[in-house]
Amino acid sequence: MTRRSRVLAYAAALAALLALTVLAFAAGRFPLAPGELAALAANHLFGAHYRVDPAAETVVLQIRGPRILAALLVGASLAAAGTAYQGMFRNPLVSPDILGVSAGAALGAVLGIFFSQSALVIQLGAFGGGLAAVAVVIAVGASVRRHDPILALILAGIVIGTLFGSLIALLKYLADPYNQLPAITYWLLGSLAAVSPRDLALAAPFALAGLVPLYLLRWRMNLLSLPDDEARALGVPVGRLRLAVVCAATLMTAAAVAISGIIGWVGLLIPHAARLLVGPEFSRLLPLSMVLGAAFLLAVDTLSRTLAPIEIPPGVLTALIGTPFFLWLFASARRSWQ
Amino acid sequence: MLEARDLGYGYPGRAVGRGLDLELGAGEVLCLLGPNGGGKTTLFRTLLGLLPAQAGTVRLAGQSLETLQRADVARRMGYVPQVHGAQFAFTVREAVLMGRTAHIGMFAAPGPADRDAAEGAIQALGIGALAERVITELSGGERQLAMIARALAQGARALVLDEPTASLDFGNQVRVLREIRRLAAEGYAVVFSTHDPGQAFLAASRVLLLAHGGARLQGTPAEVITAENLHDVYGVEVRVAALEGVRVCMPVL
């Protein structure tokens, strides 16, 4: 991979993201012309005074704006967390859910729905549930000292995830099938339809609190993909670094899941695509992965609200688009894994 | 440079060796020999501070390992692992640059000085042509040289090589041994393990022969590597003879 093709990959990804963002603002049940968008942007960003249809203004500021920002934030967060985990666990099949953050968030949200709580409480339940699940997994993983620490973490994540999954199944079984069950199913499928500016304001600081340390650690993350003994002999306190990365990735994922519900595939697929484009070196991989994740989820979300008269859950679309793409990647990938 | 006093090593609940004294100065090469399961890897991990010593002390440039941070150890002692387990397709240059970790701040990326050091290590090993190649696509010998370059980039003056000639073809084995001799001539202190006792005559100034049950012999290659000692440790008949002034080991079938 030459420097030139890496620069090209970055430029193409950023251009695609920009084009998609404009398209996402324009497309929808209330289509907006590029001129109208430009006028709105000029008014709000540069203090101009063009005449704009107030309905268009509401659509852009109150409905599409927050939703687009949420898609970008959630996509970038899931992709960044997935990139970190795939490197750290030295495994291409790892997604941000591996340590149970999604299962915990789902249980928290489902509990909130089951007890008929407000949307805010449900979101807080999802966020808290995600953090709690990973905290339990870390505690269990740390208590089995006789095993390989990575294996202990992954096994603990699977066990806790399964336990939470069965608790969710129990709650679904007990839930009111007319009011609560559809809400639970809808949440578990993931959606960005209901994201409000307040949701964004709540989730963004936590997502950033995870993203910033990960970005700062971007070169050192490379060392976590080496065997533990090697990384330690090179001067890295492996256990502490790994814990820091897990905490950062968990914060990001939990914040994302709290506003979007569970949207699969982004955190699994996007790191692969990015790695094929710029190679495994983490300080180059992470930014591209975030850009691609944001663009991918924005594209999926825009499709999900424009393809059909009713919204198609984005979690379903990511899988429908993701599966063939993933198979193609695997068939064509030569060098990204040994 | 590297010194062990009354060292006890092993895993929690299982002592492998006791009371080992070892001293290695600049320019010396210690060859570590012993049967499979004889404790070579355990001793290595203890010397590197990856496994806590069960008794006694390891000192590195006069300082006890226990008082040193991981990065302090890494700046003094480099480790060349037996099989490089990276799954990711880093280039040789990226991999060698990782040797600079102990010189780079927690949140920083490698600077020009680090790039220069990595480049110098790549040139010292004569693998400049491989710098942009992907490490997972290299042959075993090339990968071994890249890992030695990474240890040199660390800036450490003591090097520990775990079976550096294992699974290499004959030519690459010779090249790695030649590299070890050259490093010692430049003032590095080198420890390497091997399964071929003859390599000690070629490259080492001292030998530590580990046997099962914690028994061991230490001395010059000529003192330690005798037909009798090899028979005691490995349980096979061996002839040790001189060929054009260099001693060689020949098994008797």
Q: Each residue of A239-290: pLDDT tens digit?
A: 999 999 999 999 999 999 999 999 989 999 999 889 888 888 999 999 999 9
The boundaries of every CATH 3.40.50.300 domain in chain B are: 1-61+158-253
Is the separation of the CB atoms in A27 and A10 below 8 Å? Answer: no
Check A219 against B87: CB less than 8 A apart.
no
Is residue B236 a contact partner of residue B223, using CB atoms and an 8 Å limit? no
CA–CA separation, B31 and B201 (whole Å): 9
Largest Cα separation within chain A, whole Å, is: 69
User: What is the predicted pLDDT for the residue at B84?
Assistant: 57
| Contact between residue B27 and residue B189 where contact means Cβ atoms under 8 Å apart | yes
Please indicate whether, in this complex, the C-beta atoms of B102 and A235 are within 8 angstroms of each other: yes
Give pLDDT, residue A146. Answer: 75
Interface of B with A (CB under 8 A): 45, 48, 50, 70-75, 77-79, 81, 84-91, 94, 98-99, 101-102, 104, 106-110, 134, 136-137, 150, 154
Determine the pLDDT at residue B85: 55
Determine what percent of chain A is predicted with pLDDT higher than 90.
61
What is the DSSP track for A248-277?
HHHHHHHHHHHHH----SHHHHHHHHHHHH
Residues of B in contact with A232 (CB under 8 A): 50, 70
Using CA coordinates, name the residue in chain A closest to B96.
Answer: A234
**Predicted ipTM of the assembly:** 0.91
Q: What are phi and psi of B240, to 5 degrees?
A: -115, 120
Q: A107-111, A142-146, A310-314, B143-147: lowest mean pLDDT where? A: A142-146
Structural domain B1-61+158-253, CATH architecture: 3-Layer(aba) Sandwich (3.40)
pLDDT digits (tens, 9 = 90+) for B48-61: 999 999 999 999 98
pLDDT of residue B136: 86
CA distance A75 to chain B (A): 24
What residues in A contact B85, CB-CB < 8 Å?
226-227, 230
CA dist A260 and A105 (Å) reads: 11
Lowest mean pLDDT segment, chosen from B30-44, B78-92, B207-221 = B78-92
Single pTM value for the model: 0.90
Q: What are the Cα distances from residue B136, in Å, to A337, B2, B212?
A: 8, 32, 35
Is A235:B74 a contact under the CB 8 Å cutoff? yes
Interface probe, candidates A212, A226, A241, A272, chain B, greatest B C-beta count within 10 A = A226
Q: A279, B89: Cβ pair inside 8 Å?
A: yes
**Residue B216 phi, psi dihedral angles, 5° rounding:** -160, 160
Residues of chain A with C-beta less than 8 angstroms from the C-beta of B99: 234
pLDDT tens digits, one per residue of A149-190: 888 999 999 999 999 999 999 999 999 999 899 999 989 989
pLDDT value of position A331: 77
Predicted pLDDT of residue A93:
80
Instruction: Output the pLDDT for position A14.
Output: 95
Q: Model confidence over A40-84: pLDDT tens digits?
A: 988 888 888 888 888 888 888 888 999 999 999 999 999 999 999
Confidence of residue B82 (pLDDT cuts 50, 70, 90): confident
Nearest CA in chain A to B82: A230
Q: What percent of chain A has pLDDT over 70?
A: 97
For chain A, domains (ranges, CATH) are: 3-28+61-332 (1.10.3470.10)
> Quick check: B209 and B20 in contact, CB under 8 A?
no
What are the tens digits of pLDDT across the range B13-26?
888 888 999 999 99
DSSP A61: I
pLDDT level of residue B86 (50, 70, 90 thresholds): low
Across the range A314-318, mean pLDDT stands at 89
Residue numbers in B near A225 (CB within 8 A): 86-88
Q: A with B: how many residue pairs have Cβ under 8 Å apart?
A: 92
| Cβ-based contacts of B106 with chain A (< 8 Å) | 216-217, 220
Residue A338 pLDDT exceeds 50: no
Cβ contacts of B137 on chain A, cutoff 8 Å: 335
DSSP state of B54: S
Q: Please enumerate, as own/partner, the contacts of B234-239 that have beta carbons within 8 Å and a separation of 24 or more.
A: B234/B35, B238/B197
pLDDT at B215 over 90: no
Query: Rounded to whole angstroms, how far apart are CA atoms B20 and B4?
Result: 7
Most confident range (mean pLDDT) of A27-36, A91-100, A198-207, A316-325 is A198-207
Higher per-residue pLDDT: A47 or B147: B147
Per the prediction, chain B carries an average pLDDT of 91
d(CA B137, CA A100): 35
